[in-house]
Chains A and B, each alone.
Chain A
Amino acid sequence: MGEVLVLVDQVDGTVRKVTTELLTLARGLGTPSAVWAGPGFSDAAAAVLGEFGAATVYVADGDQYANHPVAPKAELLAQLVAEKSPSAVLIPSSAEGKEIAGRLAIKVDSGVITDAVGISADLVATQSVFGGSTVVHSKVITGTPIITVRGNSVAPEPAPASPARVDVSVTLSEAATKAKVTGRTEAVKGGRPDLTEAAIVVSGGRGVGGAEGFSVIEGLADALGAAVGASRAATDAGWYPHQFQVGQTGKTVSPQLYIANGISGAIQHRAGMQTSKTIVVVNKDPEAPIFELADFGVVGDLFTVVPQLTDEVSKRAQ
């Protein structure tokens, strides 16, 4: 079994959950090596990577990975692919991850597959496309398979190892530094889990009726320790920030539990949540298409049902 490179998704030195999922997946394909790009590598980070089976951690320290978007990480991975001839490269299916994968594919003359929800031992990727209506099995047939993997596709399983640290240095091309990050602005400091990582998502749509109504949605989310999502109708109307939009032109999520409140379920929204493991629906309209997706649904006013549900959840938690 060959070496499988896994690009670490980390924020301010903390390894994100999707990395542990990709390492777990990589163990089924070969021997995982984690690739850390940027400053802040620590013993704590090494411990997390080791816990999920990384045999090696390539550490490319340096501000350049934070100061210039995408291109430097692609160059780092290209260098490692050339030096180590891995059997595959796994990258999280974030916006940045997909762009890194695309640029890497050109650099190393390889095919690229995005948004895999599974990968077999012989590197056949499973993709859920067209809003979840079609399941596709695909394969890279030229070069080193570069595959981006959706979060929440694989349950992370520990398999403790003691990774060897290998420091890597890359001289960036001029092209990689033509775009510079000159500032970071945080719009929302959340206490809630990240939408694409959360096990439970509670969403609100047109039925919420306004920004104030979202407090009911947030109440339920907080009782469940869930992330909040919103339909496009709600974000377009300015009732909730765009970064929480779930749908065809927003985020795609696949949590264990998705609770849709006041959302009709048109394809725009379905495309973003159709593969959630369990779907619960609350909507006034019994004809709403979203009921077709529901494992459990209540036809009713969300402003009555949701607060009652929130109450029950809090009561039962005690």
Chain B
Amino acid sequence: MKIAVCVKQVPDTWAEKTLQAGDSTLDREGPEGVMNEIDEYAVEEALQLVEAHGGDVTVVTMGPVKAAETVRKALSMGAEAGIHLIDDGLHGSDALATSYALAEILKDRGFDLVLFGSESTDARMSVVPAMVAERLGWAQATFAQKVEISGDSVVTHRVSETGFDTVEATLPAVISVVEKINEPRYPSFKGIMAAKKKPVETLSIADAGLDASKLGLSAAWSTVADFAARPPKAAGTVVTDAGDGGVKIADYLSEHKFI
């Protein structure tokens, strides 16, 4: 099987995320960048699928220079090769542009599956995997907590409000995974060393044959009018339990008409 995994470098979970005053885009330079957490689960799932069925995993990312670290991380987990789309013209791309760029890179390379994490911790839109499926015309099997290959179909368990739906999709398919699906491996020392020799294709917008007018901030179909830090909450009341903590909360709830 030929499997692609799309990964995104995002600001570290513990870092404070801010929008830049100039163009209202996320500040990616300041905070440390890490692989989007759910993407680790996608990489792991891809690796487990090729371990079971044979084949190889290619990691794909669209991001600035330091996103190369995220590609390396996937390679050190066991992906065979990487593709890094990098170009100043991508800065400020919205989901429409991102899905366009990724779909163009992914198509016609013979991938059977493209895996994503279900959501990034910076934008938190959860739309790019579905949008890539839309653009490629492939089956969409997203929010998967389980993935199984069955002949030339893939069967996933799609998370639902009350449990899960079993979804059967023809190949090739676009899949996104949720955290529940597996436990990502830590790269071994051997894996980290081997990653340094694995090939990474670095592509500019022109190299990838993309239409620059569909990418970047000026092409975005939505815009930030303004933003501001949320006004700090007025300090609340904190008391220490002296055998009456529960009663005090009940009093508070009653005062505020919750009970």
Q: Interface residues, chain A, CB within 8 Å of chain B?
A: 11, 69-71, 74, 94-95, 98-99, 101-103, 105-107, 110-115, 124, 128-143, 175, 178-190, 194, 200, 224, 242-243, 248-249, 256-257, 266-268, 271, 278-282, 286, 291-301, 304-313, 316-317
Contact = CB atoms under 8 A, between A and B. Distances in A.
A70 B243 CA distance: 52
B165 A183 contact: yes
B4 to A, nearest CB: 18
A267 B221 contact: no
A267 B13 contact: yes
Contacts of A98: 125-127, 130
B24 to A, nearest CB: 8
Interface of B: 13-14, 16-19, 24, 37-38, 94-96, 99, 118-119, 121-122, 124-131, 133-135, 137-143, 155, 157-170, 173, 178-180, 220-230, 233, 236-241, 243-250, 252-254, 256, 258-259
Contact of B222 (A111, A183, A194): A111
Given A134-B227, A249-B121, A280 B249 contact: yes
* Chain A binding surface SS class: mixed
A300 B244 CA distance: 10
Contacts of A278: 256, 258
B240 A299 contact: yes
A155 to B, nearest CB: 15
Contacts of B125: 98, 102, 114-115
A140 B222 contact: yes
Given A99-B126, A114-B127, A316-B259, A295 B236 contact: yes
A134 B140 contact: no
Given A249-B119, A297-B239, A299-B241, A184 B163 contact: yes
A133 B227 CA distance: 11
Contact of A309 (B162, B222, B246): B246
A187 B157 CA distance: 12
25 contacts: A95-B126, A95-B142, A98-B125, A99-B129, A102-B130, A102-B134, A103-B130, A105-B221, A112-B222, A124-B225, A128-B230, A134-B18, A136-B24, A137-B225, A139-B225, A141-B222, A183-B166, A186-B162, A243-B161, A249-B38, A249-B179, A257-B258, A296-B236, A298-B240, A301-B241
Given A103-B131, A281-B238, 6 more contacts: A101-B127, A111-B94, A130-B17, A180-B169, A300-B240, A316-B259
Most chain A beta carbons < 10 A, residue from B127, B128, B225: B127
B241 A304 contact: yes
A87 to B, nearest CB: 16
A303 to B, nearest CB: 11
A242 B230 contact: no
